[in-house]
Chain A
Amino acid sequence: NAGVTQTPKFQVLKTGQSMTLQCAQDMNHEYMSWYRQDPGMGLRLIHYSVGAGITDQGEVPNGYNVSRSTTEDFPLRLLSAAPSQTSVYFCASRRVSYNSPLHFGNGTRLTVT
């Protein structure tokens, strides 16, 4: 049981480049979400999804797109990377029930130069 898998672990981009951060879970969780964590700061919700075909914006959605075509996968797209997007990105999933905890992936460390 792999849990939540994020790829890549590290990525360096130049300003204006695009890329997709991958997230997959094998726990059949309905809910998936993306967070960014800047150095010494908390987790900021970017986008989340409560099921395949359903996505919604979180606290800091600008500059990011998501889609959810399957229960297992929830990729995060940066269309035109900016230095302000340098951060650690965490994907998380859980069941949509009242007492279900979030399971986090190991994170993707992204640097935009």
Chain B
Amino acid sequence: QQPVQSPQAVILREGEDAVINCSSSKALYSVHWYRQKHGEAPVFLMILLKGGEQKGHEKISASFNEKKQQSSLYLTASQLSYSGTYFCGKEIEEGGTNAGKSTFGDGTTLTVKP
């Protein structure tokens, strides 16, 4: 089962903040975030592991709430270059038959306007 992302789309002005949420009905082992520009391949942003701390990448950070089976991506003081579609991916276990089976949400399209 794929994770569920919200919202589906966000429109911002430069300098504004945004939060993208990702939730799962199954217990998560890890959550990873990617950004995809139109016509390009997804590019890795960060991974959050069960029991790990919040991660950061420039002005983009993320958190992972194991109890709620939810992760959130925070974009601070957004720039034009942040525009794109953001995907969360999940893995439900480290080993076993599902090892490495990464499934993705439907994405959140972020548009940053000048």
Contact = CB atoms under 8 A, between A and B. Distances in A.
B73 interface: no
A56 B101 CA distance: 9
B62 to A, nearest CB: 13
B41 A43 contact: no
Interface stretch (B12-20, B64-72, B74-82, B103-111): B103-111
B30 A98 contact: yes
A102 B91 CA distance: 12
Given A43-B42, A56-B101, A99 B47 contact: yes
Contacts of A74: none
A58 B101 contact: yes
B100 interface: yes
Contact of A50 (B34, B47, B100): B100
B37 to A, nearest CB: 12
Given A42-B107, A43-B42, A59-B2, A98 B49 contact: yes
Interface of B: 2, 29-30, 32, 34, 40-44, 47, 49, 87, 89, 94, 97, 99-107
Given A98-B94, A102-B34, 19 more contacts: A42-B105, A43-B89, A44-B104, A45-B101, A45-B104, A48-B102, A50-B99, A56-B101, A58-B103, A90-B42, A96-B99, A98-B30, A99-B49, A100-B47, A101-B32, A104-B41, A104-B43, A106-B40, A107-B41
